[in-house]
Amino acid sequence: MLLSELLERLDAIAPASLAEPWDNVGLMLGDPTREIRSVLVALDPSQAVVDAAVAKRIDLILTHHPLFFEPINSIDFSTPQGSKLKSLIKHDIALVSLHTNLDQAFLVEHLAASLDLTDIELRGLWGCGFSRRPCALPDFAAGLPKTGARLVDAGRPVGKVGFCTGSGMSLWREALAAGCDTFITGDIRYHQALDAYEAGLNLIDLGHFGTEAPAMQAFAELLTEQFPNLEITSHPARDIFNPA
């Protein structure tokens, strides 16, 4: 399959039109006329991912997070980004990223399913649903698939839960206005947490990695079903904050 054709079909799955204005999605590097036979799906375009693609002679790396968000003024091969670009070009490996468009098209829904909520409503980059039984925040958190979550307990029973993949705290006021008593996301900063706490909103920080990596594994499985003629593998993601 030509890369150009694959890009068109990926856009049907996660339209670029869904991406946030500040985002950079689609083809990061590569020749659209290149024949693609193998794809490595990963959360990040990390050095480990690039090295794995080189070792496995992969044609295309498909990531969630882009390699760069802004125009490049220079490429210094001694920097981490420059080193990765050098390897990709040298070994003729294309790189495509599906970021906030994939959040809306797939990742948010996958996170929702993992939280075991009812009456789920998706609202673009975030969604909400209801706990199957009202309970205290620590009890609700104990039933989540990821251990070690950070909690901000505002003292409200968990009933209506908002959720967002990645760094979603910019949406906490929107979740509160929608009637949520609890909000789940990653990368929660202290002052954000204090503001939400004083507004009466419980918080669960699952980490950026924890809200997205499992979904990317599931996305690789979806692509395997939709592109049976491509060899698609998922890179084993590693949380740099909790590597064990």
Distance CA 40, CA 234 (A): 6
Average pLDDT on 212-228 reads 96
For 121, the token pair is 């409503």
Q: What percent of the chain has pLDDT over 90?
A: 92
Residue 148 — very low, low, confident or very high, per pLDDT cuts 50/70/90?
Answer: confident
Residue 237: what pLDDT?
84
SS3 for 42-66 is ECCCCHHHHHHHHHCCCCEEEECCC
Q: pLDDT tens digits for 7-59?
A: 999 999 999 999 999 999 999 999 999 999 999 999 999 999 999 999 999 99
Distances (CA, A) of 172 to 27, 42, 93, 187, 216: 31, 28, 39, 13, 24
Distance CA 175, CA 65 (A): 24
Residue 236: what pLDDT?
92
Residue 242: what pLDDT?
74
Say yes or no to pLDDT of 81 above 90.
yes
Say yes or no to pLDDT of 147 above 80.
no
Q: Which domains does the chain have, with CATH numbers?
A: 3-98 (3.40.1390.30), 103-209 (3.40.1390.30)
Average pLDDT on 69-78 reads 92
Cβ neighbors of 128 (< 8 A, separation 6 or more) are 120, 121, 160, 161, 162, 163, 175, 178, 180
Residue 244: what pLDDT?
58
